[in-house]
Chains A and B, each alone.
Chain A
């Protein structure tokens, strides 16, 4: 009886872990959006069809975002010429603070402003940061909630594998 109970508990844990790890968006077409970028031009996700796109939702008040962004910028600088794009979506109410942080960090990837939180709602952003990987066909393939040191290795593997497809 005890063994049966422990197997049941194990199964429940496995199911719970898998449901946390997977996102409802994975495998679905990435919701399209257009936002104003820090450079002043409007950028639309669907115009990047054919490229692997990483969408990184971040905010100035988020410590892990500050840690993660320079690492993402390295990935962007390395793989941009082979069809990889990175869109940083800032969700602050005041874009000036975001601009200041971009200057401080010196990141080169395009940063977009979602002050109305419309895009973050579309992507069910409930944690900070959230990193979404979209394949060449415009489908959401991987969603990462939060950031811990070492995640960049995971991103690297996934980007390389999506670029090979």
Chain B
């Protein structure tokens, strides 16, 4: 009987202790969940920050690549066509009633450097005021001879071939020469003029 009583009492004490423990456990679980949620939020914001910084890194890298590309381009241009020895030749046309341009052949110091065929669209663009850079070269300082041969259709749609020549002095610094085709109305003939840009 006493044994039974003792065991009943023990069970009762155990039940009470379990219920107390359970009551204590609820707030512990809520705290843990809250802490977990907070840590998840923190990690999410951390990953977002990381993503943002990665994105910024990519943007910076992209900008650096573009800058590098620009620098390389300029460097290549400077190396291939140093400004001091650079000579550029341009073709322009004024009116063009007496001449239909077909091609231009350029010789510098007796050596052919360019032979450009013009399509009707390109010739039309020149008549409309366009200027075409037909050749770019590097020349030493001193005198050089330029011969430009123009072929096309002249007055009365006849095959026409004319040359123009100039001896120019290449000083220090870039040089620009314009090969201009104009109409000489009085003679009803085209005229080919080579001009040095100042």
Contacts and interface: CB of A to CB of B under 8 A. Distances in A.
Interface string A32-55: 001110000111100100000000
Interface stretch (B21-29, B117-125, B133-141, B160-168): B117-125
A34 B121 contact: no
Contact of B120 (A35, A36, A41): A41
B127 to A, nearest CB: 15
A18 B34 CA distance: 64
Interface string A1-43: 0000000000000000000000000000000001110000111
Interface in B138-161: none
Nearest to A118: B115
B97 interface: no
Interface string B95-109: 000000011000000
A147 B117 CA distance: 31
Contact of B103 (A42, A43, A44): A42
For this complex, into which size category does the number of interface residues on chain B fall? under 10
Contacts of B122: 44
Nearest to A44: B119
Contacts of A41: 119-120
B101 to A, nearest CB: 10
Nearest to A33: B117
A47 B121 contact: yes
Given A42-B102, A42-B103, A35 B119 contact: no
A142 B19 CA distance: 83
Contacts of B120: 41-42
Contacts of A44: 117, 119, 122
Interface of A: 34-36, 41-44, 47
20 contacts: A34-B116, A34-B117, A34-B118, A34-B119, A35-B117, A36-B117, A41-B119, A41-B120, A42-B102, A42-B103, A42-B117, A42-B118, A42-B119, A42-B120, A43-B119, A44-B117, A44-B119, A44-B122, A47-B119, A47-B121
Given A34-B116, A34-B118, 7 more contacts: A41-B120, A42-B102, A42-B103, A43-B119, A44-B119, A44-B122, A47-B119
